Structure 1
Amino acid sequence: METDKEVLPRMKEKEYQHELRRLHGELVAMQEWVKDTGAKVCVVFEGRDTAGKGGVIKAITERVSPRTFRVVALPAPTDREKSQMYLQRYVPHLPGAGDVVIFDRSWYNRAGVERVLGFCTPEQSAQFLQLVPEVERAIVDSGVILLKYWLEVSPEEQTRRLENRINDPRKYWKLSPMDLKSYSRWYDYSRARDEMFRTTDTAWAPWYVANTDDKKRGRLNVITHLLDNVPYQPLAHKDVKLPKRQKADGYREPVLQVRRIPTPY
């Protein structure tokens, strides 16, 4: 897989926050357009472990309404879900009118972690890769704007981030046995990713790859691309004025025996 040849210096926090603030304003404009027009947007995030899917999703959603931007991060399937058609548990989470649904990992688990770690058979993975392009065609034909992102990090950066999780008590919770298994099987994941791209990178639902060795640049690049690929138009700004607040009409604050939190700051 081709990678960007130019290596830029890591973005400074001040520059990052300045650009992120601007993009947050655009995301709010996109949100209002989605609500007003009844558009349906589905964003899929896949990628290497430690590639920063959670950070990108947080950057997208931290200034918008969770009623419009909904994050779906499904747990391991139950025994009942294992007995169902594979895609069945994902379909109910697809967006309706006025929704932006973000999948923090998605149906592509079958092409990645399930395939590499043996949670499905090679036949099941191959069948999934054969069928999913037509399923995604049906999703797009129903009016959904479907965007699929793969976040990629270098082996060296993945090592650095996992070591950081091991040594930083604030991040230790992010370290799972699955991370360690995935780390040891870098090239198995590379082969699975390559096959996934070959079979599911279609004209109607292409893959977009973002390098996230520099997390800040990666987040800004993904958000910018997302905004460029949703045909939103900022709505006219309404002239809003606060109404007059009612008069006290004799009301006084009572002395109530309620517990108040300490105020050390």
Structure 2
Amino acid sequence: MDYDNTTEDFSRDWLQAELDDTLDDLFEMEFSEPMLSEEIRKIYKRQHPDMLDNRTYYTNLLRLQSELIKLQYWVEKTNAKVLIICEGRDSAGKGGVIKRITQRLNPRVARVVALQKPSDREMTQWYFQRYVPHLPAGGEIVLFDRSWYNRVGVERVMGFASDNQVEQFLQDVPEFERMLVRSGIIVLKYWFSITDEEQQLRFLTRIHDPMKQWKLSPMDLQSRVRWEDYTKAKEEMFERTNIPEAPWYIVEGNDKKRERLNCIEHILSKIPYEDVATEKVTLPERVFNPDYERRTLPDELYVPQIY
């Protein structure tokens, strides 16, 4: 038997099966669209004439997700520590990218950290202290959905941090991240970038879509008012925290599909993972006891079969 050809055929068949399975996502998109007004839908489609087509998107997404699984095996085998920081404006697509990265990974290996606002006790701690417990140990991939960079983003723009606190952070964070890298953590920092017009459009779709209104907080609405303040804060953040040991990478996000694929492709290119030999899985024989009789359980234990 030609092992290489057999493996290639299996991979191709698997990819096609997975691609067919993702049609559910397409149906979900079709069902969610009517939630928007006809006017908003027309505007959105007019603003995005060159969006990546679904077949290209799903084919490449599945290919990249299979590579992420290889990365996961390598991280476990080598006890590597990977930290991925995801920052960006509200509605820039961070959550969508994170979801596609972790979608097929083992949650015991790849986990997401999205911290709430600090408690009164945490407000008195060293600023980085509440983030440290969530850093990756050996064999882990951790994705921060927003991070310590809140200090120079929302906290700065909304007045939750003083000028002295912001300046102290900007002085401290480069050395803090150098310490992480020296400890063996692979640090990748991504800024998801969208245009002013795109954010406006996405906020409008959320306002008019009852399935997405929960995503809009009062803070999000203020981010529209303070667009230029956030821009100035972002520019200084890049200037003072873009260090060789942990540089920033900007992902253009006006097209969500391209944003997801480009980010995953970049992550894979920045981590020196290799194929790791895995043990062959063999399904054991079921133990059969001829004297065992299965009990009949009462009907009320079962969920009604409505569908």
Please give the range of the TM-score, normalised by the shorter of the 2 chains.
Answer: over 0.9
* Alignment counterpart, residue 148 of structure 1, candidates 189, 194, 207: 189
Residue 48 of structure 1: aligned partner: 89
- Equivalents in 1 of 2:258, 2:49: separation in Å? 9
2:213 to 168, 172, 187: 172
Unaligned runs of 5+ in 2: 1-47
**Aligned counterparts, 1:1-265, within 5 A:** 9-257=50-298, 258-265=300-307
Higher helix share: 2
| Separation in structure 2 between the aligned mates of residue 211 and residue 23 of structure 1, nearest angstrom | 18
- TM-score, normalised to structure 1, is 0.94
Counterparts of 1:132 and 1:62, CA distance in 2: 30
Structure 1 spans left out of the alignment, 5+ residues? 1-6
Query: Quick check: which has more Rg, 1 or 2?
Result: 2
Which moved further from structure 2: 11-20 or 115-124? 11-20
- Aligned partner letter, 1:240: V
Q: Deviations over 1:102-151 (max 9, x none)?
A: 10000000011101010001121111111110110010000000000000
How far apart are residue 28 of structure 1 and its match? 0.8
CA RMSD of aligned residues (A): 1.3
Counting matched residue pairs gives 259
Measure the CA separation in 1 of the matches of 2:172 and 2:282: 54
Identical-pair percentage: 53
Which deviations, in whole Å up to 9, do the C-alpha atoms of 1:22-57 show, x marking residues without a partner?
A: 111111111111011100000000001100111111
**CA distance, structure 1, for counterparts of residue 86 and residue 121 of structure 2:** 25
More RCO (CA 8 Å, sep 6+): 1
SS in 2 for 1:45: strand
Residues 96 and 8 of structure 1: is their aligned pair in 2 closer, same or farther, counting only changes over 3 Å? Answer: farther
